[in-house]
Amino acid sequence: MSSNSTRRPWNVRRLPRADGRVFLVTGGNAGIGYFVAEQLSTTGATVVLGSRDTAKAEAAMASIRAHVPDARVRAVRLDLADLSSLKASVAALGVRQLDAVVHNAGVALDDPPRRETADGHELMFATNHLGHFALTRWLMPLLSAAPAARVVTTGSFAAKSERLDLDDLQSRADYRPKRTYGRSKLAQMSFGVELDRRLRTAGSSVTSVVAHPGGALDSLTPSRPAVHARSVGARLGGAPAALLVQGKDAGAWPAVRAVLDPSVHGGLLWGPRVFGLRGEPRPEPVWSHVADRSVAARLWDASRDLTGVDPGTVLG
C-alpha cells in the first residue's frame, strides 16, 4: 500500500488497493458478511467466503462478480457449529498465508426451544463464539505467516446491555433467545480484545480488532438478487428508520476499515460514527464490560476446555 493512500482521509466508497492479499470472511454469503466480502473484493484482494451452505455461497459469489467484474472471490465450506470440521476447512483454503479473517458468521434464534450442536453446546454460543475461537487456533499459522495480519471480530450492539454469566455460558439455567444471542456476541467481542492482549504479549505481528455494525436493517439494505431482495414496500416502510440506523451495506464499513486501514491498531473497537448506530466508521472506547480482563481470562479458559483447543498455544 502506498504512503499516499495512508495519508488520504478514509473513504468508504474508495477503498485502498490490496492486490495480492487474501481475506477470509466467515458467513460471507449473506447479511453484513456478504457486503464485507463485496466491498473487500473491490480492492483486488482474493476474498474467500466461509459458508456452510454451498448453494448460498455460489449465489453470493455470482452476485459479487456481477457488481465487481474483476473480483477474485471463491468459497470454502465452513461450519462453525461443527468443531471437528474446522481444521479441514482451514486446510481447504489452500494458501500459505492469510492477511485477515473477518469473524462475522452468526446464528440468531428468535424463539425457544434451546438448541444444541452435535458437540452438546448451545447453538448460538457455539456458532458465534466457540466456533470462531477454535477457528482462530487453526488459522493462526497462516495469519502469522503474513507480514501484518488481522483478526477482525464482528460484534453486535446487542452485546452492549448484556453481561456474561460465567457459570451458565451454555444458557442451561436461563435460556432466553435474545439474551443468549447478545451474550454470545459479547463473548465473541471479549475474545477479540483478549486475543489482542495475548498477541502483544507474545510479540506477534498479528493484531486483533473488534468492530460492530450499529443498527443495520434489511429494509435499508440495497437488493442483491439471490442474496437479498428488498421490496418497494420494505424500502418505503424503512425510510423513517434511516434517521437512526442504516442498511447492512453500511453496517459492513467498520469491519472493512478494520481489515484495510493501516492506521487501525489492535485492541480497538470500531463502530458507526453517529451514536454508534449509523454513519461512517470510527474508533470508539472499548465497552468496559468487554475490556474486563478477569472475565476475559475466565472466558478464554472455559472456551479452551469446551473446544479442546487453545489459540494461545500457536501465537507468534
What is the chain's alpha carbon radius of gyration, rounded to the nearest angstrom? 18
- Is 181 annotated in the active site? yes
Q: Is 279 left (phi over 0), alpha (psi -120 to 50) or beta?
A: left
Residue with cell 472466558: 299
If you write DSSP's letter for every residue of 227-252 in order, what string do you get? TB---HHHHHHHGGGGGT-EEHHHHT
Nearest C-alpha neighbor of 314 from the set 195, 191, 138: 138
Q: How many CA atoms lie within 13 A of 248 on its CB side?
A: 25
Is the CB of residue 41 less than 8 Å from the CB of residue 19? Answer: no
Strand partners, 49: 25, 75
Of the residues 23, 133, 181, 253, which is catalytic? 181
Which residues are annotated as catalytic?
A: 181
